[in-house]
Amino acid sequence: MWMSSWTSARQLRAKGIIGMNRRNIHYIGRYNDRRLYPLVDDKLKTKLLAKQYGITTPDLIGTVTTQFSVRHIRQMIDSHQGFVIKPAKGAGGKGILVIERSAQGVYIKPSGAHLELKDVERHVSNILSGLYSLGGSPDVALVETLIRFDERLAAYTYEGVPDIRVIVFRGYPVMAMMRLSTAASDGKANLHQGAVGVGLDIASGTAIRGVQFDRTRHDHPDTGQELASLRIDGWRDLLLLAVGCYEMTGLGYLGVDIALDRDQGPMLLELNARPGLAIQMANGEGLRPRLDLVEREPDNVSSERRVDFAQKHFARRSELAAAQSTGDATGPTDRGRQDARPAAYPGIRR
């Protein structure tokens, strides 16, 4: 076991796959000033900052900071059909309560489960006591408007808003993937829990490859929707929003999470100063060559130019489309073989 992952480390490097060590030392260590972390480790701070920079995020309905004020939650959510409550310092989807609609004191989750006011209050109280925050330290509960995702994406996801992760290096969008929630992932777009990761072409926003539980996939496991036709409308606007987070935070190596609202377009969900490496699996490509290329670019390039550069240099053909359109002998057989092979690269953690 150890031997095989040891021997493959060299092969991984050859493919340009970066591991935790290189990410931590070369990119996070060099390009992310630790003093800036609080801006992204607290979703409330991120949201307020985004507002200053004209970056769209779900509107803040309110915050709850003390157990005494938990009972004020009712007034806050009263005038909102749908809303989301989350811990300011949460991660990995933990402690996020999504309410899609409510009527007569009943709050309905995307799964259809019903909650009462006292359940919502208990959830807020749990957030405050630190149940979902790192190290169990006390936290703040944030209440924000519900993102209503684009109907055109409905077939690609199961009970949850899909999100798009863009790795932004020195202000350049270097790699992107979409995370589709599945029954296995409990309506959350979290790869550990079984969400499907779909690599997206930086040039066009179309799907190039899909991965679930470290294996390649060509369709959504629950809805059966094939992934080859997945395409994000308004892709360039999404990239511009993502790269604007570089100016907004000053962080050189950043994971930007974006969701698409059907009316308002791309919205910043959250930022991550230590983004995971699984995006390489979803793309079937290592980050290294792209990061090397961007590292040679000068400073002070405008956001439009940075997006132009990325769209020009990081364009990719879809593996999904290739597998579907090749009707000859190599098509289906090749595809079958590919599906049987683990897509995981040892040593990469999400």
Ligand X SMILES: Nc1ncnc2c1ncn2[C@@H]1O[C@H](COP(=O)(O)OP(=O)(O)O)[C@@H](O)[C@H]1O
Contact set with Mg ion (CB under 5 A): 257, 270
Does the footprint of ligand X cover residue 164 (CB under 6 A)? Answer: no
Does the footprint of ligand X cover residue 159 (CB under 6 A)? Answer: no
In what order do the strands lie in the sheet containing 101-103? 101-103, 106-108, 114-116
Query: Which residues, at least 6 apart from 110, have a Cβ–Cβ distance to it below 8 Å?
Result: 98, 100, 159, 160, 187
Query: Which residues, at least 6 apart from 150, have a Cβ–Cβ distance to it below 8 Å?
Result: 233, 260, 261, 262
Does the footprint of ligand X cover residue 42 (CB under 6 A)? Answer: no
* Per-residue binder mask for ligand X (CB under 6 A), 139-158, x = binder: -----x-xx-----------
Q: Could you tell me which stretch among 62-70, 92-100, 123-131, 199-207 binds ligand X (CB under 6 A)?
A: 92-100
* Per-residue binder mask for ligand X (CB under 6 A), 108-137, x = binder: ------------------------------
**In terms of Cα–Cα distance, which of 90, 116, 86 is closest to 98?**
86
Minimum CB distance to ligand X, residue 141 (Å): 13
Minimum CB distance to ligand X, residue 212 (Å): 16
Q: Could you tell me which stretch among 44-52, 160-168, 198-206, 317-325 binds ligand X (CB under 6 A)?
A: 160-168
- Output the six-digit token pair for 332: 């289906």
Among 29, 92, 105, 342, binds ligand X (CB under 6 A): 92
Q: Give me the helices (H) in the chain, please.
A: 2-14, 20-22, 29-31, 37-41, 43-52, 73-78, 117-128, 235-249, 279-283, 288-295, 303-313, 319-325, 330-340
Minimum CB distance to ligand X, residue 229 (Å): 22
Minimum CB distance to ligand X, residue 184 (Å): 15
Does the footprint of ligand X cover residue 188 (CB under 6 A)? Answer: yes
CA gap 244, 171 in Å, rounded: 7
Q: Are 269 and 217 in contact (CB under 8 A)?
A: no
Instruction: Find the binding residues for ligand X in span 50-89 (CB under 6 A).
Output: 58, 84, 86
Q: What's the angle, vertex CA 11, arms to CA 8 and CA 13, rounded to 5?
A: 115
Q: By CB under 6 A, name the binding residues for ligand X.
A: 58, 84, 86, 90-94, 96, 98, 144, 146-147, 160-161, 163, 188-189, 257, 269-270
